[in-house]
Structure 1
Amino acid sequence: MSETRSVVVERAFAFPPERLWRALTQPHLIQEWLMKNDFQPVVGHRFNLSGDWGGVLDCEVLTIEPHRTLSYRWDYAHDDPAYALKSVVTFTLTPTPDGTHLRMEQAGFRPDQKQAFGGAHAGWNQFLTRLDALLVRTD
């Protein structure tokens, strides 16, 4: 069995967990900071994320603990094995005195997926910056 790597991005938000939870679980809000989707916050629900680049991710909700933990399978089929990815994205929300600490982990990158790993790290930083901007302008 080969070892896999994880992208981990952590960020402090000046908003309560309930507000982040809405942005993580409501499709119209997910579309604003992540991608177009047909997400439903139901364990076992299969959904797609559609990227601006034309790619589609096949996903399935694995864990839901309202205002605390959300995880889903995040798979990308590609003819080139270096780009095909089977991973799990997990968001962990921890209340803080000033808001919420968010930890995002995308686990499942193979050692030969250096470009995908680097791209995911940069991508998640951009996504979370967009998430913060969304939270600033919405209730």
Structure 2
Amino acid sequence: MSEATITTPAEREIRVERDFAAPVARVWQAYTDPDLLAQWWGRGNKLTIERMEVERGGRWRIVEHGPEGDSGFEGRVREVVPHERIVQTFEWDGMPGHVIVETAEFTDLGDGRTRVTTTSLFHTTEERDGMLGSGMATGLNESYAALDALLARQV
């Protein structure tokens, strides 16, 4: 498939849209099943899924084991509407206290295709711009390419 479309619709937001060649149920499962998530989320690096509670008030924690060392990510789930929407916080161990609120929406495009739209809300424009300058787009597209490969294997 193609690369994600990344925009800044508001001064504290990043919006990412990406279409996948799989039905909503399979894309949702790849986002919420720890065994599947571990196969694509970390840009091809080994992941340890320490916690994955996909329910309101649930917690999640993932550690990525990359060439530069380990990086931990975690958050709390605020809202879950199966096959439609997940709202959760996102925090990187490298910047404790800088919490992002992420909303992922899953849209059935028909013909077995799904659009995932993720909106990340930051505390400040500077935090948002820092994320944009961090290489986020490259890592995101690498992870989404791994998700494409996973979804293709599941056919």
Q: What SS does the corresponding residue of 2:38 show, helix, strand or coil? A: helix
Please say if residues 9 and 121 of structure 1, whose CA atoms lie closer than 8 Å, have aligned partners that are also in contact: no
- Asked whether 1:122 is paired with 2:138, we answer yes
Matches within 5 A, 1:16-27: 16-27=23-34
Please say if residues 73 and 91 of structure 2, whose CA atoms lie closer than 8 Å, have aligned partners that are also in contact: yes
Match of residue 85, structure 2, among 61, 64, 69 = 69
Matches within 5 A, 1:1-139: 5-35=12-42, 36-37=48-49, 38-52=51-65, 53-78=69-94, 85-98=98-111, 99-108=113-122, 110-113=124-127, 114-118=129-133, 119-139=135-155
Equivalent-residue separation in structure 2 for 1:19 and 1:77 (angstroms)? 30
Code of the aligned partner of 1:34: W
Measured at CA, do residues 136 and 10 of structure 1 come closer, stay the same or move farther in structure 2, by a change above 3 Å?
Answer: same
Q: What SS does the corresponding residue of 1:104 show, helix, strand or coil? A: strand
Measured at CA, do residues 84 and 126 of structure 1 come closer, stay the same or move farther in structure 2, by a change above 3 Å?
Answer: farther
Please say if residues 4 and 109 of structure 1, whose CA atoms lie closer than 8 Å, have aligned partners that are also in contact: no
Provide the aligned C-alpha RMSD in A: 2.2
Equivalent-residue separation in structure 2 for 1:122 and 1:84 (angstroms)? 24
Equivalent-residue separation in structure 2 for 1:109 and 1:127 (angstroms)? 25
**TM-score under structure 2 normalisation?**
0.74
Gaps of 5+ in 1: none
**TM-score under structure 1 normalisation?**
0.82
Q: Alpha-carbon deviation of 1:123?
A: 2.2
Stretches of 4+ aligned residues off by more than 3 angstroms: none
Aligned residue pairs: how many? 134
Please say if residues 19 and 115 of structure 2, whose CA atoms lie closer than 8 Å, have aligned partners that are also in contact: yes
